Structure 1
């Protein structure tokens, strides 16, 4: 009895269809790609029941001629490939001719289509691979494909589908990727009757990014445009301070085809080296334009994976493109104030927020003098309050303020801060010549009117910056025009040292130690140090072999003189040992990072005002010290507009 059977047509089609149609999201992907290939500028995707009960994709593309409608649902029938040579020049999303045949083999399908040249449209229905109807129909130019009852004839596949919510989320992800890949196409996604996504299709990537990835990503994105020979990288990447805890927002496209590429992912994350905290990953929307013959898209039935003829060229393109974009952008985070909400504690509070009007003190007196004899009511968020608030009973004293009056015509008295410990510290550190003294200005000034619109941040964050003081012995406070800058002194100093080490700027600055430092190492660590004496000398540490597992440090760069050299050398030896004596550029940066971290000013250290001023000067001269090697930001900024918005001073 024969053991090898020839499968009949229906079974063979179901097996083949299983390679393409895994779930409703697979169907949507194939139909949307066909719509894009047809030149559509508008695509509407509608699903019900997670796409299991209904999928409808409508486009305004070129449509399908009636003579080709039935053939479109045959296996290996395609308009995009004719001869074998065409496979090396594929520029369309679909090309295998398997999508419609696979969908029709497992679902009930209805097609409504018309080309611009045809007077009447065509209605076609097919279920389980068997044709049902082909007739005239009225419809606009384009194509509408309706898919119902996914896997209705293959219950074994049906049981592996997830809940409607999960399947619907997968469909939404497919639509989002397609919208990011085709910024010139207006997408609308309707889920169970509700519009969940709509993009303008204006050809601007940032518009699609704002709709799909959110306002925070759009406003914190950095445009990327980089060319290397015939390869072009375009898109946008996130600023380091809005990096995420996963890679879910990394979107890579090859010739506008969404792909999963370990090469692109590794290059992107390498570009962010020493800018991100551990456990954080950059987000991106990046498209690589590459000659079709340099990439093989025929690797996976779902076309989600590709193979490059030259992986290194792709890595270099993404790495240098992103690195260049990061270097040209201001990477300091900016603090945004939340919308000010008035007190919810008063039941008599008006629903309309009172508007702040601009008037001088003399104008205010004139208005008050014309009021009736009845005392004017003053707006108070808490009515009928007889006891002072706790904050008013602390260290405030009453102080009259000139040119300010109450509605009754009496001089208005406002609280004034007593000299605090913080002020005393500033005085002792000789900061008063550069410090805005709160005691010289009233806390309330009826003539002071804040700016009504936020002012743009200066391109150079430290240009004309004025040192105000130090906060918590950790953060420098600067004022630069209409913005406040907070600098983490440890992160700033660490980054400056790291930059000097990587540029070789410390090698020639070594000085002799009054007392050489000897360090005991294990035999393996001792050998690792001796194999890299030149490298360590270039990094500012001159080491000699003292025999018997000992090394001696006789010269160091001045910035390392006060560090625990024994600890530094031991840690460097352990790192060198873990690298097996073969240093790659990334590992070399790790060594420099270790040295910079040990030598930098520490948080909570007492630092002289002269040193703090010098640190600001070095930051201004460096220009690229935006993040420490750990990835933490060196500085954050907050505009005067945001501060005054926080205090409710804006009308």
Structure 2
């Protein structure tokens, strides 16, 4: 007997479901897109335990006729197309007829639906793809799906689901994309009996942005409307000031369908070149209106990826649309009025804009125009003004920051140029304790001399290393200290950020933050790690949160990237004049670290130049 067999229908459906349904967010995407195709103007999604145990999707769309309800759960049953040629003019979200069959195959499902022409609705109950009952029921026009116990009959798939809070974050992100793609539909998301977000459905995209991201973002977007080569690009691009450390706030749509595409990402970020710092990514909500024959959405089962027949034309349309919006608008960043409160010990001076809760409640259409202030002008440092310090022996001094003793990996130099970086094998740190302080050059580098060697220390990198090892040690020992802010910060977060923060609140507290819930997707920051000092601002918090979310994954604890960021933000900056006592203390603290030779990014902290090398450079020897 041969070894090849035809799979039974139940097994085949469960395998196919894995291609379409990966997690609760996949279920919701398919059901909500069906609601959109049914011309719904209000869609409510409710989840419990991240959508793993319970999902409800209710719409006020056209509903399904009683004769069609059972047929809708058959494989490849669809009302969207009739033949392959219809794909060339597809204008609906769904078309394959796979979603409902796939969802029903791996869950316990219930659907109530009624059309406007029918007096009563239809109720269907299913389990594992099998119909349990069909009956008449009373219900309003529209459709309600209830999906329970996702993957109850496929434990191999169930075990790959993430924590409830993580799955809830995926659902929130998906709902945000759907709401941004369809501003004319009111979307409501309820998670564990709490409303996460609710958009007005008034066809105003700024109102949707306001509902999802808050006042600051809604005030900092630039409208664009550009058309070329039959491609219309519309939506909003964010000002550079709301750029973030991840691409999570980039939303692309084609004819109202949420998509991902490298061409669109490249065009957007190329338009922002020279406007953003390294590792900063712009905010955008962009919709492309393109003839269906110019792109193919039938690439991936989840319809998130597309192919374009003319990528160059798409790139050009997006690039020029965004570039035009950026060049025609004022990008001067608004600055808060300076605070004249007396400076207090153990508090941070208020340097951020005051957030008025009444303002946050205003509809986006009534937002006041931003008031613009010029950048503060700061003169260049004149090289002639840099003092020449006399040579003084390096003497032991009491460190101003307790040194840490936490180990850190030491990257090996991989080029001849990197060999100049001092390594422990070549120069023991004890030798530098006897070195003389020559001075400071460019207000950035410390110069030491010991024997026949000159040493240059990058003051920012050195202090960053000290801060990193100190903070890491304090956190590991539960001894990180907090510093109360003078004026608490009220911060609006995305659903994913909000869920992440509260799922790891213990770790944030161990790092020195004191944070409380302050309304839907809103927090209030009352204290921050003491090492962040008076320079802490909301941009710093967002960067720390971005790095933490990027790197920690499902692991508990504080990611090294988040500690790196806090160390970098709080370290002495370049172009900062240091007194000799400060230099002495900094050097002694640095040399007490486990790894004083590289900063947290792997760049050298100390480099050495021998007397012989200098003499060769001056041609004293050949």
Query: Residues 231-630 of structure 1: matches in 2 within 5 Å?
Result: 231-337=231-337, 485-487=375-377
2:205 equivalent to 1:205 = yes
Distance in 2 separating the partners of 1:233 and 1:28: 27
Per the alignment, residue 521 of structure 2 pairs with: none
Deviation at 1:57, TM superposition (A): 0.2
Per the alignment, residue 173 of structure 1 pairs with: 173
Per the alignment, residue 83 of structure 2 pairs with: 83
Deviation at 1:486, TM superposition (A): 1.9
| Mapped contact 1:111–1:145 kept (Cα < 8 A) | yes
| Mapped contact 2:332–2:374 kept (Cα < 8 A) | no
Deviation at 1:488, TM superposition (A): 5.0
| Mapped contact 1:490–1:603 kept (Cα < 8 A) | no
User: CA, structure 1 residues 139+486, in 2 after alignment: closer, same or farther (shift >3 Å)?
Assistant: same
In the TM superposition, what whole-angstrom CA distance separates every residue of 1:60-114 from its partner, at most 9, and x where no partner exists?
A: 0000000000000011000001011101111111111000000000001100111
Deviation at 1:256, TM superposition (A): 1.0
Per the alignment, residue 49 of structure 1 pairs with: 49
In the TM superposition, what whole-angstrom CA distance separates every residue of 1:596-643 from its partner, at most 9, and x where no partner exists?
A: xxxxxx999xxxxxxxxxxxxxxxxxxxxxxxxxxxxxxxxxxxxxxx
User: CA, structure 1 residues 4+143, in 2 after alignment: closer, same or farther (shift >3 Å)?
Assistant: same
| Mapped contact 2:45–2:56 kept (Cα < 8 A) | yes
Distance in 1 separating the partners of 2:72 and 2:165: 31
Distance in 2 separating the partners of 1:158 and 1:456: 50
Distance in 1 separating the partners of 2:266 and 2:238: 16
TM-score, scaled to structure 1: 0.54
User: CA, structure 1 residues 254+48, in 2 after alignment: closer, same or farther (shift >3 Å)?
Assistant: same
TM-score, scaled to structure 2: 0.56
- Structure 2 SS opposite 1:487: coil
| Mapped contact 1:489–1:603 kept (Cα < 8 A) | no
Distance in 2 separating the partners of 1:457 and 1:121: 51
Distance in 2 separating the partners of 1:455 and 1:183: 21
Distance in 2 separating the partners of 1:338 and 1:173: 37
Per the alignment, residue 162 of structure 1 pairs with: 162
| Mapped contact 2:229–2:313 kept (Cα < 8 A) | no
| Mapped contact 1:37–1:93 kept (Cα < 8 A) | yes
Per the alignment, residue 143 of structure 2 pairs with: 143
User: CA, structure 1 residues 329+130, in 2 after alignment: closer, same or farther (shift >3 Å)?
Assistant: same
Give the aligned CA root-mean-square deviation in angstroms.
Answer: 2.6
Distance in 2 separating the partners of 1:134 and 1:338: 68
Per the alignment, residue 611 of structure 1 pairs with: none
Per the alignment, residue 194 of structure 1 pairs with: 194
- Structure 2 SS opposite 1:486: coil
- Structure 2 SS opposite 1:226: strand
Distance in 2 separating the partners of 1:239 and 1:114: 46
Larger Rg: 1
Structure 1 unaligned runs (5+)?
346-453, 462-482, 492-601, 605-651
- Structure 1 SS opposite 2:276: coil
Per the alignment, residue 226 of structure 2 pairs with: 226
Per the alignment, residue 23 of structure 1 pairs with: 23
In the TM superposition, what whole-angstrom CA distance separates every residue of 1:232-274 from its partner, at most 9, and x where no partner exists?
A: 0011011112211111111111111111110000000100111
| Mapped contact 2:219–2:370 kept (Cα < 8 A) | no
Deviation at 1:178, TM superposition (A): 0.5
Distance in 2 separating the partners of 1:457 and 1:54: 43
2:90 equivalent to 1:67 = no
